Amino acid sequence: MESVFVYRNPEPAPPGDGTLAGLRVAVQPNISVTGWPTEAGSRALERYRAVEDATLIRRLRTAGAHLCGSTRMSEFGFGLEGSRAGESVALTEADAELVLDLMGECRAAGLRAGVCAYKPSYGLISRLGLIGLIPSMESCGILSGSVDVIRRLLAVMAGPDGLDFSLPEEPVPDFSPGACRAAAVIGVLAEARDSLPETERRAFDSVLGEIESAGFALRELSLPEYALFPLVHGIVGSVEASSSAGRYDSVRYGVRAPGAGNWNDMYLESRREAFGLVVKSYLLQGAFFQFKRYGAYEDACRIRARLLLGMDRLLGQADLLVLPAPGAAPSAGRLGEVLASFDPSMFANVTGQPVLCLPADEQGGAGFQLAGARRGDARVLEAGERLLNLRGRE
């Protein structure tokens, strides 16, 4: 069977007594590790090796973590086609894996592998050294079988970075257990629950029963524009991706089409060969809104601002929100099919909220997402650990 890893670190685990000493961390090859192949699953970056560590990698090294290798991933981390995310943890070859979350990939991978998946607040972890597509929505997610491991990694990786201007100069939250006021009220978004098919709705209602049994109070809330999250993500995200991918010109690395008569033909033909069907379709969608329907992009940005305010309003009425988990992401398919599978998870990428996704348990309890306010990561993790303990997984 094909290995989960595309590259294994030949160096032994570092000695030391740092806070992460002995912890094995796998990464995707769109996270820069000096000297490692960093092709991000795309022919556009063929033969590229990182020339310096990403900020989060440098911080992990300093804390004594062992980088055990890079895992197979989808093109630029978009969707899960070809991805083996989560398997390194499920197979106990790593204690945690770092996976870029653009529209819910980290969470979907965690559900598939049966491990916990965490998407942190946007602006909490430096993006310097990450190769992605959607700068305002993507963040480095964490997969692990343990919420405590996620918490320890987050404490090391989080914090301002003078080289990443997307990070505000805010103090690092205290992620230690009991450091924040415990969540008491969890909101149930009516639009998210009511959109489920009958079988999935019954499974989600069973999850709500578990949450009440854990001592949380449930409160039904409403966000009438909830259904607009996928639309906003599809327009704004594709425009950002189209702009971001313009850097791949085949000059310094990546596939270069032969026989071009001039630089412009070389650029066009090389890009035609560099991207896979799903990513290419997404980039074309973004170019359409960028150059032909720019007004729709402006409208989507305005709606995004309204959705942000709407989520802030809901989290003024509840400490956290519980939402259904995303469905199974297709291993292959057309762009529309891929996007549709991530509809339930896109909200957090649009708003920048932290989300912990817990997988189904051995007793048949369904997976679900627990979301908090931006920078409310500690409260999300504490409540998630409580629920995970109730399920008997730790």
Region 149-156 average pLDDT: 96
Nearest 5°: the CA angle 102, 393, 70 is 40
**Which residues make beta-bridge pairs with 355?**
119, 371
Element (H, E) at 8: strand 5-8
For 10-28, write each residue's pLDDT tens digit: 998 888 789 999 999 999 9
Beta pairing, strands 320-324 & 185-189 = parallel
For 54-104, write each residue's pLDDT tens digit: 999 999 999 999 999 999 999 999 999 999 999 999 999 999 999 999 999
The pLDDT value given to residue 394 = 44
Q: Please tell me the least confidently modeled range out of 166-175, 214-223, 293-302, 345-354.
A: 166-175
CA distances from residue 154 to 126, 193, 270 in whole angstroms, order as listed:
11, 30, 39
For 277-290, write each residue's pLDDT tens digit: 999 999 999 999 99
Query: If we measure between CA atoms, which residue out of 311, 325, 302 comes closest to residue 235?
Result: 302
φ, ψ (nearest 5 deg) of residue 375: 70, 10
Region 158-167 average pLDDT: 88
Residue 383 makes CB contacts below 8 A (sequence gap 6+) with: 182, 183, 186, 216, 319, 320, 370
Pairwise pLDDT comparison (295 vs 360), residue with the higher score:
295
The pLDDT value given to residue 333 = 79
Dist. CA 320–CA 375, nearest whole Å: 12
Q: Please tell me the least confidently modeled range out of 88-92, 272-276, 363-367.
A: 363-367
Q: In order of start, what are the domains of the chain with their CATH numbers?
A: 1-249+277-394 (3.90.1300.10)
Place of tokens 């909101």: 187
Q: Please tell me the least confidently modeled range out of 38-52, 67-81, 241-255.
A: 241-255
Dist. CA 228–CA 225, nearest whole Å: 6
At 243, is the pLDDT very low, low, confident or very high (cuts 50, 70, 90)? very high
- Quote the mean pLDDT of the chain: 92
The pLDDT value given to residue 320 = 97
Residues present in the chain in total: 394
Dist. CA 35–CA 26, nearest whole Å: 16
**Which residues make beta-bridge pairs with 125?**
158
For 107-128, write each residue's pLDDT tens digit: 999 999 999 999 999 999 999 9
Dist. CA 130–CA 32, nearest whole Å: 6
Cβ-in-10-Å burial (0-12, 13-18, 19+) of 259 comes to exposed
Region 152-166 average pLDDT: 92
